Amino acid sequence: MKIAVVGATGLVGGVMLEVLEERGFGKEEVLVAASAKSVGRKIRFAGRELTVQSVEDVIAAKPQFAIFSAGASTSKRYAPLFAAVGTTVIDNSSAWRMDEGVPLVVPEINMSAVRARTGHSVSSGQGMIIANPNCSTIQMVLALSGLQRRYGIRRIVVSTYQSVTGTGMKAIRQLEAEERGEEPEEMAYPCPVHRNLFPHGGDFMEDLYTTEEHKLVDETRKIFDDATIQVSATVARVPVVGGHSESVNVELKEEFDLEEVRRIISETEGCVLYDNPEKLEYPTPLLSHHRDEVFVGRVRRDPSQPKTLNMWVVADNLRKGAATNAIEIMERLVLSALNA
């Protein structure tokens, strides 16, 4: 099997290669592509060196899968060209997420969307595009997915506390320079992030919300296939390297038993209930670092609102929020083909 990683020299691309090796794809033919300035560069993978190729050359190799983490404009340009030669593209950018014909997938929740929306079978040799949701959306909907199935969700109010790794290497370099007391060579943010936080992720829009906040609204509805869910989001950036945190207030459609809620979360595939207030145990970004699970804690009833819960949700945004989610989609497609 040929697997392409497009954007392999970037922060998420590097994690994608790590996860591929960890999950048993080290012996497959892995092709790495990046921008023209990186062509010819060597990347270590599974005990060998891979040479970075141009995207055009990788398309010509006709891989079965292409996992993208190269930005929306690159995905818009090249993903259809991969699909045209029979490749299944799993794209980590925002380019295709809200396209009506493209499934937006968290594999534990809605792999059925791949078949339902396209009629596609990976064994058919037909190319397609699958979108990976935003990192903050992935961890939130996974934590809520069991409750959505059991009770239904009426409304979500979410505030995110997002790591600088969600912005990329430029943001990490800014934070590290500020930590050393130096002036950053290049600012990723409009203000300092060291010993600071700010309520800004993405670009501001006419309604005064940001593009990152709109993603939480629109993607949640699409993944749950329920346009009636009301979502209000506030995104904040915090001086953390690795791991997004979220305060989630969710109003359910039915009354609930708190112990049943805790059981449902603990039994949700991909989630870990880490909630022991008496021992001062609750999820933190450090707990999630380099791990693939979504951690949920501080689960409690909202006394101000009927049928409503509060919880705290944490995940490694580079892994489950990006690389791992994409590779899990690929794994399930391969398994489906083998079982066909």
Residues labelled as active-site residues: 135, 244
Output phi, psi for 79, to 5 deg. Answer: -60, -45
Closest listed residue to residue 239, CA positions, set 292, 289, 179? 179
Closest listed residue to residue 188, CA positions, set 165, 210, 211? 165
The one-letter amino acid at 42: K
SS (H, E, C) the chain: CEEEEECCCCHHHHHHHHHHHHCCCCCCEEEEECCHHHCCCEEEECCEEEECECHHHHHHCCCCEEEECCCHHHHHHHHHHHHHCCCEEEECCCCCCCCCCCCECCHHHHCHHHHHHHCCCHHHCCCEEEECCCHHHHHHHHHHHHHHHHCCEEEEEEEEEECHHHCCHHHHHHHHHHHCCCCCCCCCCCCCCCCCCECCCCCECCCCCEHHHHHHHHHHHHHHCCCCCEEEEEEEECCCCCCEEEEEEEEECCCCCHHHHHHHHHHCCCEEECCEHHHCECCCHHHHCCCCCEEEEEEEECCCCCCEEEEEEEECCCHHHHHHHHHHHHHHHHHHHHHC
CA distance 272 to 294: 6
